[in-house]
Structure 1
Amino acid sequence: MTIQRLFIANRGEIALRVLRTAHKMGIETVLGVSEADAASLPARLAGRAVVLGPGPSAQSYLAIDRVVAAAHETGCDAVHPGYGFLSENAAFARAVAAAGMVFVGPAVTTLEGMGDKLAARALALAAGLPVLPGGEAETAAAVAERVRQTGYPLLLKAVAGGGGKGMRRVDRAQDLDAALAMARAEAQAAFGNPAVYVERFVARGRHVEVQILGDGQTALHLGTRDCSIQRRFQKLVEEAPAPAMPDDARAAIEQAAVRLAQHIGYRGAGTAEFLVDAEDFSFYFLELNARIQVEHPVTEAITGVDLVEQQLLVAMGHPLSLTQAMVRPHGHAIEVRINAEDPDADFRPAPGTVRRAAWPAGPGIRVDSHIADGGEVPPFYDSLLGKLIVHGATRAEAVARMEAALRHLAIDGLPTTAPLHRRILADPRFIAGGVDTGFLAGLNPTEPQP
């Protein structure tokens, strides 16, 4: 089949990102927006924008019936979910198909298997991948058994979602009950499912992931990314390839990701996420994100592959146009997320109006953002303003280019994470490469002077 008209069921920078590739491919576009986003840049650039409902996402971007009806009524033959919101929701994918449209993403069975983190662990084990000790924690007896397996510290994680929501680290037995209650409440609020599971905590863990592509028959990888610099288990800085990693360890983790993709007959773009022990480079499967990732631009920068285009081609029924031998990563890329948050106030979100947005430009610099002068940051959604991506022939060149780009970035009107990124880029541990997820705890609180 050929996609003639694409419905984009998302907002912000990823909606704009999908719009650009769709336009490049000659595909008409319809964008579903909330009332809060009706005047946004993506809404102005789409072929047509349809209001789904009020600002709160439960009444707009997460309302399956409204999204599917809007796509169907505007004559769309496919729906791209972006990331977040309904992107990994099997019920949504099923409703899209029932309405006679193509869901741009994996099969419903894959979404069901990977959307439940315990089911995903089982599939990973069946594919021969290592996983951390742990398991479901539905009853008090099950929790006690898992704790005996993992010891302290441990992690509590939501079964039905990711992005750091419903996740708690527990260091002592006396904190377990309160942490369980909080994790379950947050999981219920974020995903409509309070189930959590227990997993061993690795003291010096690195968050390394592998970009995969599949057409349901074959699968390949596009290299590694390192996403270890995080706050509250949400990523701040991503780079590709993962630095300071031996070639044999890199190859092993890439092959594991492909093995899993082939085992489940993966279709589309996805990301296999792993926890890597910084001491010996042993690794453990965490989850498979069955969608495009926020950090996909760093992979595009080093491979030259348009991942959204690949998603759309696979959704049309085309076999992969790439082979593993054709994927030849070059250079190094770094992405920083510019959020409307105050890092000095525990990353408190800062919705409001952006008076001025001066994004850097030049060779090796890419900006993915929906924010310009006068842009509004609604209080209902993730605070991401945009992503600043740089590419260099070497990692040192990419670091220097990012430092320069951050010096030229100016966002006025509300606090952002830009000052924090300048501190990160100046830290000797980051410059050396290979930091673990505890990096922020030891970061200099003072911004370096130019």
Structure 2
Amino acid sequence: MELLKDLEWRGIIYQQTDEEGLKELLEKESISVYCGVDPTADSMHIGHLLPFLTLRRFQMHGHRPIVLVGGATGLIGDPSGKKEERQLQTVETVQHNVSCIKKQLETIFNFEGENGAIMVNNYDWTSKIDIVTFLRDYGKHIGINYMLAKDTIASRLETGISFTEFTYTILQAMDFNYLYEHHNCKLQIGGSDQWGNITTGLELIRKMQPEGAKAYGLTIPLVTKADGTKFGKTESGAVWLDPEKTSPYEFYQFWINTADADVVKYLKFFTFLSKEEIEALEQSVETEPHLRKAQKALAEEMTRLIHGEEALQQAIKISAALFSGDVKNLTASEIMQGFKDVPSYEQKDENVSLVDLLVNAKISPSKRQAREDITNGAISINGEKVTDVGYVLSDADKIEGKFTLIRRGKKKYTLIKY
């Protein structure tokens, strides 16, 4: 399917600066397209994904993606969507964040071949510009009235905005102008909140490049959930791409728990499955929702893309073990992923009776109740029921010598650490 038609079918296009002009350009030639992210943290979260996955779609249709990590703009802070000033970060912190985010972006793009992706850091050119050059060569082209009309700035006038954040839109415009000049970049894509920054870039290109220079902007809609809650958030916080912050199992679980009302939209937004494949999954949602085929496809595609095949298979293994209750074949690292948020207790004695452990770890409220729980078959050790009230835990009950998993009833787990 033609690229723009595919993006429209997926619901990915929110605004365009010149729809017909961009369509003609893409039909005529392969172009360079850029999307950027500011390194405000040492990891991206899934709220950052859609613009970059859209950039990847351009690459799959023969265009060259330019992936920009804002080492300079990250030092300033985008006022978009903010009610107050950002806390400024040190150069060292931002550059550390840049290196972490670059590694995550490398999993999404192909850097080989004729249209291999280019990764750039705007600190490399912005840091070389002195204040007088900034004011004369760039600031002179962007009027105050023009900037005040931008939603991101106008929304901050009552609460206050520093000159630093006021100039952010010019800094991002400089990026577009630089990439146009040095990489023949003719299109910037971004989230819907980036419309003002993108159009400022087009204004700067119009004034600084030779007459007839033409560039384009395209924005992507905000991702929403059907129930009105914020996309990308769980009870424990944001869903990060860094496996140390959000484990591959937790990442997989986020996607597989997608509501029926959202899953087809997310398949269109986030996966590279074809129209035919997605329509077949949509049919499954309507006729056999209990099978959750669409959710499984979404979770598998996303986990494979961000964390790789091995991590995906591990997430599937953990999920199956938790569903069945048979956890004895899980490794220690898989136990840590799957039971990261369950209550835990540190056991220091080498051998302890099961009754004492249940009371000490507050799994059962008393020894009498602990004995009843064991006798009634309510207690499992590493997925296997234990009905012997005289049972004493041994090394055989320790997974890799590190953990024992106690379950009381069907769902109440406690992780015993050694």
TM-score range, shorter chain: under 0.3
Q: State the TM-score, normalizing by the size of structure 2.
A: 0.28
Q: Identify, as 1 or 2, the structure richer in strand.
A: 1
Q: Identify, as 1 or 2, the structure richer in helix.
A: 2
Q: State the TM-score, normalizing by the size of structure 1.
A: 0.26
